[in-house]
Structure 1
Amino acid sequence: MKKIIFMGTPAYATCILKALLENKNFNIIALFTQPDKAVGRKQILTPSHTKAFLNNHSPNIPIFTPKSLKDEVIIKQIRDLKPDFIVVAAYGKILPKAILDIAPCVNLHASLLPKYRGASPIQSAILNGDEKSGVCTMLMEEGLDTGPILESLECNIKNKNSSEVFEILANLAAKLIISTLLNFKNLIPKKQDENLATQCTKIKKEDGMIVLYNAKAIYQKYLAFNPWPNIFLNNGLKFLELELVDENKQFNQEGEILELEKESFLLSCKQGILRIKKLQESGKKVLDGRTYLNGKRLKVGDCLY
């Protein structure tokens, strides 16, 4: 039975952790995850998804929440555990060389590397309109997502939002890590092609701001930023549910109400048409498109804002 230290934080990582716990070939000897964070208006101290899961399902497994992995005490604790593997999935911290040298460190990255190295591979693939994505296992080195690839699995992500793709890739990653660890000695690591490498950064709330210029780009942003940070106009009006109706038609004015429907309406962009199904003004409740227009006394030909 292989001894594994697991490092991960969000629900994506929990899916992988669960698969390892259920496999009799592996023994999870410790979880490393991000420290508890203050969440919501009341700033309630909340554990990470992996920590909450482990506390409920395997409370005897030790959990570590270090602020830094460079601490010599932490490095010694990891070394003393004598892991056969360190498995990393969306942990949120860089592993220093001192830890990388303790045991093979296998990272599960939610893209087909070398595309989308960094913090937002799923959102970036959706934003760029990719129809295919996937997950890789890779041997970690000091660079960010630069290590050699061990195995990968591919899937279709066309017209899927971020939440849906996260779930698909989490389930793929759960299968992939079992394969990689069981076959580790027989796998030949494949060096990444640096000429094909792309980077992606952490998503910020302001990334959800849109202008009604290109309907196709707005639609991809809507998919990528669901459930957070959503997409919104500069007046704070959120578009919570929409469809792409046309991506080519040109208009002189963006934001014009083109047609009223039973619970939605068609809206012009400089290029393309969107069907707006659900909206939300800042601090107010979610409304269907038609109800929102009725409340604002807006009609066909009017500008939304």
Structure 2
Amino acid sequence: MTLAIDCQNLVKTYPGKPPVEAVRGIDFQVKVGECFGVLGPNGAGKTTTIEILEGLLPATSGTASILGMDWRANASKIRERIGVSLQETQLSDRLTVGETLRLFRSFYSSGITPDEAMRRVSLEAKENSWIKTLSGGQKQRLAVATALVGDPELIFLDEPTTGLDPTSRRQLWEIIESFKAQNRTVMLTTHYMEEAERLCDRVAVFDAGKIIAEGSPQKLIQSLGANHVIEFSVGDSSDGKSVDWIERLPSVSQVQVDEDNIRITADYLHEVLPGLVAGLEREKISLTGLSTREATLEDVFVNLTGKHLSDGT
């Protein structure tokens, strides 16, 4: 088997007046051993899609094969071979870390020991600690451990690092990379572009119930047609003044204007910046801030959807 997930024309419609089309006929495949990322704003259909794949929701139409099996015919077998870590896993405050993992291990006919699960997420020292005494990062690592204790072939991680400090986030990244190194498969939803670029072999960008782009992070960034981003803001005295001339500067691939903020994608900074500064002075447009950086997945997302992933709209 080479595919861990195979979705064909997946549709989910909620009844109503009018009906709500949450997922509108999507197709994608996830290969065994890869980390597949799902990006999209709230309401894009990504959570509904994930819940169908996890067996929590039935699809209205289409098919979703998990490890070569269908939920309608092989639900018990699929549950034995997958792990799920929700964005906010509610665990009992009155259980210890060890008791929690022994409970979750009892749900599976086979798997790793609770001690091994604790070792994989570096929680051995917390075995006898109550859940309520754990930090946010420790709770998230424990949630991942509950998904690992059944020794799954495929794991679903729904925004596993949301709200964590940078150190805790990187600890979870290392856990995910270690799992993937065993030729296991990860399906990851995230709002962090750096996370997707580091962990994911491929990503799918969801918007309005459809997949609007799919590929490796590097390929999607290259699709912008430029390697660098110049962002600058202008003062109120610049209102109403045209910036069409920026598009004609050497090396410029695209210009996006958002009120007083302007974003330029370009191949070579040294070809753009002199002409940009001279043009702003010539047009008497006051510059209030300027920064340059390499293009990222966030720029791809803004280019495709017209909004930032962090907007939540």
Question: With structure 2 as the length reference, what TM-score do the two structures score?
Answer: 0.27
* More relative contact order, 1 or 2 (CA 8 Å, 6+ apart): 2
Question: With structure 1 as the length reference, what TM-score do the two structures score?
Answer: 0.28
Query: Which has the larger helix fraction?
Result: 2
